[in-house]
Amino acid sequence: MTNKTQEVLKHLQTKNQITSMEAIDLYGATRLSSIIFNLKKKGYNIITQREECIDRYGNTCRFGRYIYLGKEQRPDFDLFGLGYVNYFGKLFRRWFR
């Protein structure tokens, strides 16, 4: 994990949410969506809440607030010994993870 990813994860674990502006201001992380994508791949349960605000010129701005729900508990068993893992009722090849 990179340093910025670790900082964003620590922020999510303590404050439970982060926006792009917070990530830029606090950690210099300009690619927050990429960091969130990688954290989700590692099993962290993060959802995106879409929000709107009005900027100083009266324009509507849309942004995402990432909310941390904890680390996912993934069952890790080989269904029928065929290299498939049962996850939320779906079968995935073991290489998927």
Residue 75: pLDDT over 90: no
Confidence of residue 71 (pLDDT cuts 50, 70, 90): confident
Q: Are 33 and 55 in contact (CB under 8 A)?
A: no
Question: What six digits make up the tokens of 86?
Answer: 């049962």
pTM for the model stands at: 0.71
Residue 92: pLDDT over 60: no
The enclosing domain of 49 has a CATH number of 1.10.10
Range of the domain at 37: 3-96
Q: Are 63 and 51 in contact (CB under 8 A)?
A: yes
CB burial of residue 5 (10 Å; 0-12, 13-18, 19+)? middle
The 10s digit of each residue's pLDDT in 13-52 is 999 999 999 999 999 999 999 999 999 999 899 999 999 9
The CB-based long-range contact list for 43-51 (8 Å cut-off, 24+ gap) reads 43/71, 43/72, 43/74, 44/9, 44/12, 44/68, 44/70, 44/71, 44/72, 45/69, 45/70, 45/71, 45/72, 46/12
Domain count, the chain: 1
Residue 11: pLDDT over 90: yes
Question: In terms of pLDDT, which residue wins out, 72 or 27?
Answer: 27
Phi, psi of 67 (to 5 degrees): -115, 130
